[in-house]
Structures are given as C-alpha cells and as structure tokens.
Structure 1
C-alpha cells in the first residue's frame, strides 16, 4: 500500500535552510520516493497553515520510514529542523 509524507512548515532562516533544499531531492529519489507537491506559497484554507507544503509518495510506510531514517537523510534533516517550524505526518494511501 502506498504511503505519503506530508510536511507543512515555516522557514525561519532561509540561508541556513537552502543546503537542505539542494540535497533532499536526491535522498528521496534514492529511496524510491516521489515529490508530488512542493509549494513555498501554500494557502491556508483551514487552520494555522505554514507557507511550505510538501507531499512525498513512497511505495509503503516501511519504504517511507527507511528513507526518513536513512543515513543520507539524517545527515541533512537538522538543516530543516533547526531552520523551520512545522509538522511532518505519514499516512497510508488508498489503493484501488
């Protein structure tokens, strides 16, 4: 069953965050993930939505966690966590 990582955050230090942006796509691709949406000007429809919204697709939750816990991603995750505030959620997809 497919799985989706959903990120929503506000960048607090763009200069320090930029290396993350340059490196993260390669880590996602290396673990079979796909970037479905990436918007730095997302719009609030309900609630307290931050300006960055990202949706990643993986083959399964296990595959998504393998990427998230990978050495490659763990080497750069601090660039996002130290320079942005927000959430990350992992959800199963609906396979037809």
Structure 2
C-alpha cells in the first residue's frame, strides 16, 4: 500500500474549494481533535481516518483550523463553512486505481 502524501500550507481556502478538490467526506464532519491530541496521536489518527476514508471512496482528507476558533483542528467535510486555514492535506491515488490491480 502506498504511503499517504502530506503537505503543509497556511493558505486560506474557501471550504467549498477544499471539498471539491480533495473529495472530503461528510462522515468526518464531527472528527475534531485538539492540537495536543493530534500531536500525540497524529500517526494513529491519520492512519485510521485514511483507512476509513479509502473504504468510503474518498480521494483525500484535510486538517483545518476554523476561523476564528484557534484551538481546535479537525478532519471534516467542508460544505459552505466559510474560510478555514488548511494545516495539512493528505491525498492518495484514486480508489479505482487500487481496485483494478
């Protein structure tokens, strides 16, 4: 299995664009973690979220900081939530590619 690809960015992007570009799924709408939890359990958390997202056919996940809330980060679907600062992007090859091997 190929490793997920992550990049960091401080760009502010409208939530709608995040949803369109990365195919983030509403199943993660409530998966919010504090920075400490993300720091301590980042690898396990991202591995598990990635596994679930792939099962559901997603093409990527994003970790965002919602403005003006500065203390919580989340991996969640963005449908018109306004602007968020993207802290990490995680993408992988399209699920259909894996299924045909």
Q: TM-score, normalised by structure 2?
A: 0.33
Higher relative contact order, structure no. (Cα contacts within 8 Å, ≥ 6 residues apart): 1
Q: TM-score, normalised by structure 1?
A: 0.34
